Structure 1
Amino acid sequence: MTFIVVGIAGALLSIGAVACLIRVARGPSILDRVLALDVMLLIISAALCLEMYLNEHRNNILFVVIACAIAFIGSVTVSRFVSDQRNA
């Protein structure tokens, strides 16, 4: 039963990753591309969590935390940059 749930979750994460790559390639603005890359980092984090659950270890938890921190810092930085551009 666990393998079925992990397989379904992996398939949904793969579909989400493909959709993010399409948005990065076709996004009309830089904000769309940044948001898609943030979602891609979160998908990678979720995939690492699935792998840790499936193989019953915690070796990748540092990578998950770092990826989430990079996604947060990157989105805040870009939003500050865009808001400064619009106010000037």
Structure 2
Amino acid sequence: MRFLVEITLYFSQLCLLLAMLCCALRLLRGPTAQDRVLALDTLWMIIMLFTLVLGISFASQVYFELAMLIALTGFVSTIALAKFLMRGEIIE
């Protein structure tokens, strides 16, 4: 049973790394700013999920706390970027 869990964790890490690569390519080559913001939003979400998978793999609580910090920072940055794209300013 442990072997099946390890294989599943390695497979999920590989899938998340491929998703990170696709988002990074869209972030670098995105034709519009909206595409880049969407790629950045998806990228931080994938990084958070990758951190959670690492926390499960290593059975360490530090990774779960780090994932929470990544989620909070990513949410605030997405809101700030969306507001900047809509109005051209962040602070009113």
Using structure 1 for the length normalisation, give the TM-score. Answer: 0.86
User: Which structure 2 residues correspond to residues 24-35 of structure 1 after superposition, within 5 A?
Assistant: 24-35=27-38
Residue 63 of structure 2 corresponds to which residue in structure 1? 60
- Structure 2 letter corresponding to 1:52: G
Runs of 4+ in 1 over 4 A off after TM superposition: none
Q: SS of the counterpart of 1:59?
A: helix
Aligned: 1:76 with 2:79? yes
What is the aligned length? 85
Output the CA distance in 2 between the equivalents of 1:4 and 1:18.
Answer: 21
Residue 39 of structure 1 corresponds to which residue in structure 2? 42
Residue 18 of structure 1 corresponds to which residue in structure 2? 21
State the 1:70 CA deviation.
Answer: 1.4
Aligned: 1:6 with 2:9? yes
Output the CA distance in 2 between the equivalents of 1:9 and 1:31.
Answer: 28
Output the CA distance in 1 between the equivalents of 2:64 and 2:13.
Answer: 18
Q: SS of the counterpart of 1:68?
A: helix
Provide the alpha-carbon RMSD of the alignment. Answer: 1.2
Q: SS of the counterpart of 2:61?
A: coil
Unpaired segments ≥5 residues, structure 2: none
Output the CA distance in 1 between the equivalents of 2:81 and 2:6.
Answer: 39
